[in-house]
């Protein structure tokens, strides 16, 4: 597992202190903080695919997939995994498509999640007049990154969106690196389309390979689960699974619709 330079220097300093003052060392060495340069996804097969055994901290990551590819389900699972490690998470939702019952079913602690739904103040308050303002979403991400508080930030760009200026993306990429924040951009494009560009350090694509439709006479639910394939399309972090490698995952049936 890769270790950041700061963690390496700190480890060296601690070792010297321990050599100088032998015996029980009264300082919490916080091994988790020292060793982890990645945020594990909680899905072993996916972690094995990712560089560093998880989502690299400080990386701008694009997770893309066509509608109904399973990318939202995967994202909610990533948030739940981060929360189980007591990491702080914010979800920026300009499209207003976040559905709390689904999030709870995925294991997310809703009380610990910051949900931001930016709507310009000049816009009418009636919900029908709201349009997803993805550029406002990028502004929110910019502010949240500068707070250096969150470990995982998700910007759900939803359907067709206006890509932000490249300098804005570079700025976000730099802020993510400085704050060691995993910044996940959720885009609704298929694997063949180009990504958001060079500021993105890691690009994952989600493709649905199958689903089950199992209507039962007495059940109101028909969707019996999805099978999805997650592939690494681009990685600036060197090989783990490496670009081109992929993993297949099964999603359980929807439990709330």
- With contacts defined by CB under 8 A, name the span among 16-24, 48-56, 113-121, 161-169 that binds other proteins: 113-121
Q: What is the DSSP string of 14-52?
A: HHHHHHHS-S---S---HHHHH-SEE--S-HHHHHHSGG
Cβ burial of 204 (10 Å; 0-12, 13-18, 19+) is buried
Nearer to other proteins by Cβ, of 34 and 245: the residue is: 34
- Site size toward other proteins (CB under 8 A) is 99
Task: Report CA torsion sign: 50, 55, 57, 62.
Answer: positive
Rounded distance, CA 25 to CA 32, Å?
17
* Interaction of residue 208 with other proteins, rule CB under 8 A: yes
Instruction: Using alpha carbons, select from 77, 41, 80 the residue that is nearest to residue 57.
Output: 41
Nearer to other proteins, 197 or 221 (CB): 221
What part of residues 12-41 is at the interface with other proteins (CB under 8 A)? 14, 27-30, 33-34, 36
When asked if residue 255 is in the footprint of other proteins (CB under 8 A), the reply is yes
By beta-carbon proximity to other proteins, the closer residue of 151 and 205 is 151
Site string for other proteins, 122-161 (x = CB under 8 A): ---xxxx-------x--xx--xx-xxxxxx------xx--
Task: Kindly state the smallest distance separating residue 133's Cβ from other proteins, in Å.
Answer: 9
């Amino acid at each position: 597992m890769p270790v950041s330079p700061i963690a390496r220097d700190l480890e060296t300093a601690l070792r010297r202190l321990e050599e100088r003052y032998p015996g029980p060392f009264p300082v919490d060495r916080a091994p988790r903080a020292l060793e982890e340069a990645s945020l594990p996804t909680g899905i072993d097969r996916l972690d094995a695919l990712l560089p560093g055994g998880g989502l690299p901290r400080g990386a701008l990551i694009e997770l893309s997939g066509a509608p109904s590819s399973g990318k939202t389900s995967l994202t909610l699972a990533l948030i739940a995994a981060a929360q189980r490690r007591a990491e702080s998470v914010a979800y920026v939702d300009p499209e207003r498509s976040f559905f709390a019952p689904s999030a709870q079913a995925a294991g997310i602690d809703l009380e610990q999640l910051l949900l931001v739904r930016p709507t310009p103040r000049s816009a009418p308050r009636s919900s029908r007049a709201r349009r997803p303002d993805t550029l406002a979403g990028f502004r929110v991400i910019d502010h949240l990154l500068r707070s250096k508080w969150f470990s995982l930030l998700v910007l759900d760009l939803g359907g067709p969106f206006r890509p932000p200026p490249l300098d804005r993306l570079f700025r976000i990429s730099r802020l993510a690196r400085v704050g060691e924040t995993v910044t996940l951009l959720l885009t609704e494009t298929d694997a063949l389309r180009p990504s958001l560009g060079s500021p993105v350090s890691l690009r994952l694509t989600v493709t649905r390979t199958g689903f089950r439709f199992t209507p039962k006479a007495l059940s109101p639910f028909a969707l019996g689960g999805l099978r999805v394939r997650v592939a690494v399309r681009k990685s600036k972090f060197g090989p783990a699974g490496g670009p081109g490698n992929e993993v297949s995952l099964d999603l359980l049936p929807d439990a709330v619709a």
